[in-house]
Amino acid sequence: MSILIYVELDNGSIKKTSLEAVAYGAKVASQTGGQAVVLALGKADNAELEKAGQYGAVKVLHAADAKLDHENSLAYADALVQAATQEGSKIIILSKSGLGDAMAARAAAKLKAGIVSGVTALPETDGGFKVTRAIFTGKAFATTEIKSDIKVLVIRKNAIEIDEAALSSANATVEAFQPALRESDFTASVVSVDKADSELSLAEAGIIVSGGRGMKGPEHWQPLIDLARALGAATGCSKPVSDLDWRPHHEHIGQTGIKVAPNLYIACGISGAIQHLAGVNGSKCIVVINKDPEAPFFKAADYGIVGDVFEILPKLTEAAKSLK
Amino acid sequence: MKILVCITNVPDTTAKISFTDNDTKLNKNGVQFIIGPYDDYALARGVEIKEQNGGSLTVLHVGEADAEPQIRKALAIGADDAIRVNADPQDSYFVAAQIAHIASQNSYDLILMGRESIDYNSGVVHGLVGEMLGIPSYSPVMKLDLEGNNATITREIDGGKEVLKAHLPLVLGCQEPIAEWKIPNMRGIMTARTKPLNVVEPVSVDDMTVPQTYKLPAPKGACKMIPASEAETLIKLLQTEAKVL
Ligand SMILES: Cc1cc2nc3c(=O)[nH]c(=O)nc-3n(C[C@H](O)[C@H](O)[C@H](O)COP(=O)(O)OP(=O)(O)OC[C@H]3O[C@@H](n4cnc5c(N)ncnc54)[C@H](O)[C@@H]3O)c2cc1C
């Protein structure tokens, strides 16, 4: 039996969260006695796709049809189902994102498969197939048994620990894959795509420096950006900050924004309202800088500095620069 | 224009979550329930579209009778009628199957809901419903404009946004800033009392997933405070102690 893993591409490279999905799928394959097969859709070099082998995949199905170059969850879900049928896959794995959830949902409905999104750890496979996932925006976890024959899992970032030093040197074989594309999946037309290409994406970022209303206004963001640059970090913000248009909406983190799970989250002038915490509680290490020692965020932090962000940020940037 | 808005009934964002019955049930004691915040955006945009284009707006909830105050609130905000599918749903697939069943009997032009529920955070019901009905689904939608049967949709994508033109019927998962949350006014609250709230029994669906147990995360250790005068030492600690740099 094969485990099918869908990998998201970004400008022809496999996203980091998708490589985690491959490693996760390979582990499930070894637990259940199958092999890990990857599906990639759209433009990518063979050399890049072969890399999935280092994370435990045996084979990569690559559909290079130019119609699939632009993200299209309807057509992608169709292709995923066709790949699963061809490979006889009973377990399908995607990484959590807007695209991952959309594809997983449509594929699960087509395959009459049980679907669990937000999985945080490897499944238990002896005596039923059980997975644990985050619920209540990370305030709790649920263990769920999947009963259906075909199972669709959407995994969260850090659901599996990857030891980059211990990767295998094996390459996966890349096979051309030609799904039948349906006209009905292409009836919508894309008017424009507005993507900050140069920026690190929040979902993928290992480090995030995030600002709240304590940053006082968009014209004061430079010290935060400087620290982010020095650390190779992405930038995020609280909801009022994006509501006020100080920062773009896609940087808004929290219950009603993006949920992040970096190794390091540095909060600058954010009070730590429960709705903000809900979006960051998957972080490994949280640093809080706030001038108010009573700010609730300190209760959720690993390291805290009580003080004025505008005095502290430049000091941190200096220290971060001298690290390299 | 026939609009269906699907709402969840979820603990308030500030609710303290705990479990009972050997960690197999959510402890609802003292928990305030609300319409899911994302669903509230969907409802607000649905009401605006109905006001501009005419037509009808039905609100749908799959769940038990304790959700009725939230359903009445949706009626007070501007829905014309409501349907409650009387069930204690076990998973997204079940909820989606109920929504798809109701929708297949009513030919809605637009099915709106939140991008995800804030209790189980799956974000998959719109996709499931779309596929079950054989119509497109898009999420998360930040802006929706209609001209006849054509919709212009702004959708958030990783690190930016995308604008699409698509034809109705559609299933859309909504998020801010698609509309401002609406607060019911006195007249709305009065008329909501007499608007129809139809309770129907669920269609049967195979058990796809079955929840077993719940647990809370391990408590967080103490926060290590660093004096502002020595702020720069933080970076070393992050490297050598926390090992995150
Ligand atoms: C349904 C719902 C959903 C929500 N969803 C989200 C969400 O997804 N994300 C989110 O972030 N919020 C969300 N909120 C809003 C949330 O409740 C808070 O209002 C918000 O997070 C506060 O943002 P803030 O910390 O930037 O601002 P504030 O609460 O105003 O805090 C500013 C902080 O900056 C500090 N400060 C000020 N000046 C300085 C200085 N010079 N140096 C250091 N510190 C300074 C202050 O001490 C204060 O702690 C939601 C609310 C609701 C009701």
**What is the block-wise mean pLDDT of chain A (324 residues), using blocks of 10 residues?**
94 93 96 94 95 95 95 97 97 96 98 96 92 92 96 93 85 95 94 78 91 98 97 96 94 90 96 94 94 96 98 97 82
pTM to 2 decimals?
0.91
Site to substitute for ligand 1 among A224, A253, A266, A276, most atoms within 8 A of C-beta: A276
* Tens-digit pLDDT profile for residues B24-57: 999 999 999 999 999 999 999 999 999 999 999 9
Domains of chain B: 2-214 (3.40.50.620)
| Nearest-angstrom CA–CA distance, A115 and B205 | 14
- ipTM above threshold 0.90: yes
- E strands within A96-181? 114-119, 129-135, 140-146, 151-155, 173-176
**Interval between CA A316 and ligand 1 midpoint (Å):** 22
* Confidence class for position B221, pLDDT limits 50, 70, 90: confident
Check if A114 contacts B (Cβ < 8 Å): yes
Is residue B65 packed enough to be buried (19+ CB in 10 Å), middle (13-18) or exposed (0-12)? exposed
Helix, strand or coil for residue A274?
Answer: helix
Mean pLDDT of the residues in chain B: 95
CA-closest candidate to residue B141, choices B3, B52, B42, B60: B42
Is A207-323 in the same CATH topology as A2-186? yes
A/B interface, count of CB pairs below 8 Å: 280
Total Cβ atoms within 10 A of residue B194: 8
Taking alpha carbons only, the member of A169, A139, A234, A176 closest to residue A60 is A176
* B14 burial type by CB count under 10 A (0-12 exposed, 13-18 middle, 19+ buried): exposed
pLDDT, residue A55, reads: 95
Give the count of beta carbons closer than 10 Å to the beta carbon of residue A73. Answer: 26
3-state secondary structure B52-100: HHCCEEEEEEEECHHHHHHHHHHHHHCCCEEEEEECCCCCHHHHHHHHH
Please give the distance, rounded to the nearest whole angstrom, from the Cα atom of residue A202 to the centre of ligand 1. 19
| Residue A154 in tokens | 């959407």
Amino acid making up residue A299: K
Give the distance, in angstroms, between the CA of residue A273 and the centroid of all CA atoms in the same chain: 23
- Ligand 1 pocket by Cβ (under 6 Å): A 212-214, 238-241, 254-257, 269-271, 273, 275-276, 279, 290-292, 295, 308-310; B 13, 37
Report domain extents, chain A: 2-186, 207-323
Q: Is A141 left (phi over 0), alpha (psi -120 to 50) or beta?
A: beta
Domain at A207-323, CATH from 1.10.150.130, 3.40.50.150, 3.40.50.1220, 3.40.50.1820: 3.40.50.1220
Mean pLDDT of B106-131: 96
Task: Determine the Cα–Cα distance for residues A165 and A247; give it in Å rounded to an integer.
Answer: 37
| Contact present, A287 and B241 (Cβ < 8 Å) | no
Tell me which fold the domain A2-186 belongs to: Rossmann fold (3.40.50)
Environment class of residue B187 by beta-carbon count within 10 Å: exposed (0-12), middle (13-18) or buried (19+)? exposed
